[in-house]
Amino acid sequence: MKPGHSLMKHYLQFKDFRAEEYAYVFDRARIIKKRFKNYERYTPLTDRTLAMIFEKASTRTRVSFEAGMYQMGGSVVHLTTGDSQLGRAEPIEDSARVISRMVDIVMIRTFGQEKLEKFAQYSRVPVINGLTNEFHPCQILADLFTLVEHRPAASGDPLDAIKGKVVTWVGDGNNMANTWLQAAELLGFTVHVSTPSGYEVNAELAGIADAGCYKVFSDPREACKGADLVTTDVWTSMGYEAENEVRRAAFKQWCVDEAMMGVAKADALFMHCLPAHRGEEVTAEVIDGPQSVVWDEAENRMHVQKALMEYLLLGKLA
C-alpha cells in the first residue's frame, strides 16, 4: 500500500464500492485506456506484485490482469490449484497469510464466495474477486464502462449514462446475473430477468436489499422489450458441468436471436462476458452483428482492472 493510504479495501462483490467510487474508477479507466491507446508509458505500480490464483480456467481474466499489471510497471505471480499447495488442502487462511506477506495485491478465481471471503479476512493486502460461483464484479465493471463509452450521457457523468437504463438478462440466474442485480440496486437502473424455471435469480443470494431493481419475465422476448442493453452468458457455468445435458434442454428457448434484439430499443447494445457458444445462448447473427460490442467489452476488462488496481493500491489520486 502507498504510505498514508491506510484504509485497505477489497473488491469481493460489486456492492463493495459506493456509486461515487464507481464514478472515480470509470473516469480513471477512461484516462488509463487513452494513455494505452496513445502508447504513453504509465507505470504507477512499479515494484508492485499481483498474485493471481486460479481454481477455474480463464482466458480474459488472466490476460487482462497480467498484461495490465505489467503495463503499469508491476509484476505478476500466477498460481493454480494444480501447481500450488492450494490443491493439496493447505488451509485457505494459511495461504492468505503467506501470499499476502509477499505481494501487494491478490486476484482470486474460485468456487464458493466464502473461500474468497476467508482469504480476504486473513490477507494483509487488497483482494479482488476474479469470479466465484456467486459473483463476477470485474466483468460488470467492464460491461458498465463499455455501456458508458458507447452511450455516454450529455452531462459527461458516467453515472448519468447508467442511471435509468434497462438491461435485459437472458439465461441462467448465475454469478453474472447476481452481479447485474447488485449493480442495478447501487447505480439506479433496472434489470429485466428471464431465466428458465428452476434457474431463477434470488434477491437474497444476489445480496440485494429489495427486489425493486429487477423484473422477472417468463418469456425472454418480453424481457427484451425496450431494453438499452441485452446480455446473456453460457448455459452451464464452470463448476456445473455435470448438469450440462439437463441445462441444454431447459435453456433451448433462452437463445438471444434477432427477434429478441428486434424488440429492444433500436440502438440497443448486445454484450456477452465470453466465452460464447454460438447457436446456444446467442446466435452468430447477434454476437457477430452490428449491435454487438463484445470485443470492446472484453478489451475493457483490462482498462477497468488497471483502474481498479490503481485505486486499491494508491487510493484516489489528487
Q: Which is nearer to ligand CP, 176 or 206 (CB)?
A: 176
Q: Which of ligand NVA, ligand CP, none does 174 bind, CB closer than 5 to 8 A by kind?
A: ligand NVA
Is 94 a catalytic site residue? no
CB of 273 to ligand CP, least distance (A): 4
Q: Which of 233, 291, 303, 305 is catalytic?
A: 233
Q: Which of 10, 109, 221, 247 is catalytic?
A: 109
Q: Which is nearer to ligand NVA, 48 or 60 (CB)?
A: 60
* Cβ–Cβ under 8 Å, residues 244 and 250: no
Binding site for ligand CP (CB under 6 A): 58-61, 131, 139, 273-274
Q: Which of 10, 273, 303, 305 is catalytic?
A: 273
CB of 60 to ligand CP, least distance (A): 4
Report how far residue 45's alpha carbon sits from residue 49's, in angstroms, rounded to the nearest whole number. Answer: 8
* Residue 273 found at the interface with ligand NVA (CB under 6 A): yes
Is 139 a catalytic site residue? yes
Q: Which of ligand CP, ligand NVA, none does 233 bind, CB closer than 5 to 8 A by kind?
A: ligand NVA
Q: Which is nearer to ligand CP, 159 or 238 (CB)?
A: 238
What number of other Cβ atoms are within 10 A of residue 71's Cβ?
18
Selected binder of ligand NVA within 95, 146, 179, 237 (CB under 6 A): 237
* Residue 170 found at the interface with ligand NVA (CB under 6 A): no
CB of 301 to ligand CP, least distance (A): 7
* Residue-wise DSSP of the chain: --TT------BSSGGGS-HHHHHHHHHHHHHHHHHHHTT----TTTT-EEEEEESS--SHHHHHHHHHHHHTT-EEEEEESTTSGGGGT--HHHHHHHHHHH-SEEEEE-S-HHHHHHHHHH-SS-EEES--SS--HHHHHHHHHHHHHHS--TT--HHHHHTT-EEEEES--SHHHHHHHHHHHHHT-EEEEE--TT----HHHHT-S-GGGEEE-SSHHHHHTT-SEEEE--SS-TT-GGGHHHHHHHTTT--B-HHHHHHS-TT-EEEE-S---BTTTB-HHHHTSTTB-HHHHHHHHHHHHHHHHHHHHH-S--
Q: Which is nearer to ligand CP, 107 or 260 (CB)?
A: 107
Q: Which of ligand NVA, ligand CP, none does 59 bind, CB closer than 5 to 8 A by kind?
A: ligand CP
Q: Which of 48, 247, 272, 301 is catalytic?
A: 301
Selected binder of ligand NVA within 100, 113, 175, 195 (CB under 6 A): 175
Burial class (CB in 10 A: 0-12, 13-18, 19+), 141: buried
CB of 286 to ligand CP, least distance (A): 18
Is 291 a catalytic site residue? no
Is 10 a catalytic site residue? no
Q: Which of 139, 182, 291, 305 is catalytic?
A: 139
Give residue number: closest CB to ligand CP: 61
Is 301 a catalytic site residue? yes
Is 109 a catalytic site residue? yes
Interacting residues toward ligand NVA by CB under 6 A? 131, 174-176, 233-234, 237-238, 273
